[in-house]
Amino acid sequence: MSTILIIEDDPAMQSGLRDNLEFEEHEVDIIDNGKAGLERLLAHTYDLVILDVMLPQMSGFDVLKNARAKGVTTPVIMLTAKGEEIDKVLGLELGADDYITKPFGLRELLARVKAVLRRYEGGQTSALTSKASLGKTEIDFHAYTATRNGKPLTMTPKEYEVLKFLWQRRNQVVSREQLLTDVWGYDETISTRTIDNFILKLRQKIEDDPAHPKHILTIHGSGYKLII
């Protein structure tokens, strides 16, 4: 049984999500505003968060940003009534694991929930891939921790996932489409520029000179290659 926190202020949506998730034998808690939702998320451990973007007191984006900044790595599916690409990109860059645009079918949401839980439940990495060393940066993919020059390095869960995917295929060319499909777990509809933004941020964190990277290289016309 998985424990799921729903942060959503629409009573009808709350009821529909609770009934269907409990039918699937998940344990569900519901919070109806962003501020209280963040407080609950920081105080309790959950297997998954379903987070609406438009919330009273604090937006879903701010909830996610603050939670990630405080070290919360719980997977998050964002609900948004907006269809603009920029909102989807922002959510993913802040550390969301998936998003779904309202209105949506409950079957689709349940499929997304299962996919995200499966990725994290099955995400126990082997000893060969649980840790990585890239120059002055040390990463523990299992613990979601990293250091650079011996000092803690802050990265979002999705940045860890992108870097782990590259590490597992080090010295090989990986396409943007592979990253979008395999890291997010479904056929992504947004622009592959999302990947470029993640790579840019990763370089800023792990490279000595992000403008002239030595570890995460761009292979023009193909994708990226992680060099150790």
- Quick check: 181 pLDDT over 60? yes
Domain boundary (65, 100, 121) is at 121
Res. 92: pLDDT tops 90? no
User: Which CATH number covers residue 50?
Assistant: 3.40.50.2300
Residues 103 and 144 in one domain: no
Q: Is 92 left (phi over 0), alpha (psi -120 to 50) or beta?
A: alpha
Q: Check whether residue 95 and residue 158 sit in a common domain.
A: no
- 83 shares its domain with 144: no
**pLDDT (tens digit, 9 = 90+) per residue, 134-166?**
889 999 887 788 999 999 998 888 888 888 888
How many structural domains does the chain have? 2
pLDDT of 212 higher than 50: yes
Domain that holds residue 85: 3-121
- For residue 118, what are the CA distances in angstroms to 3, 48, 111, 121, 185? 14, 11, 10, 5, 10
Does one domain contain both 84 and 142?
A: no
Report yes or no on 126 lying in a domain: no
Residues 137 and 105 in one domain: no
Name the token pair of 110: 């349940």
- CATH code for the domain of 209: 1.10.10.10
Shared-domain flag, residues 141 and 94: no
Q: Which of 102, 121, 140 is the last residue of a domain?
A: 121
Percentage of the chain lying above the pLDDT 70 cut: 89
End-to-end CA distance of the chain: 40
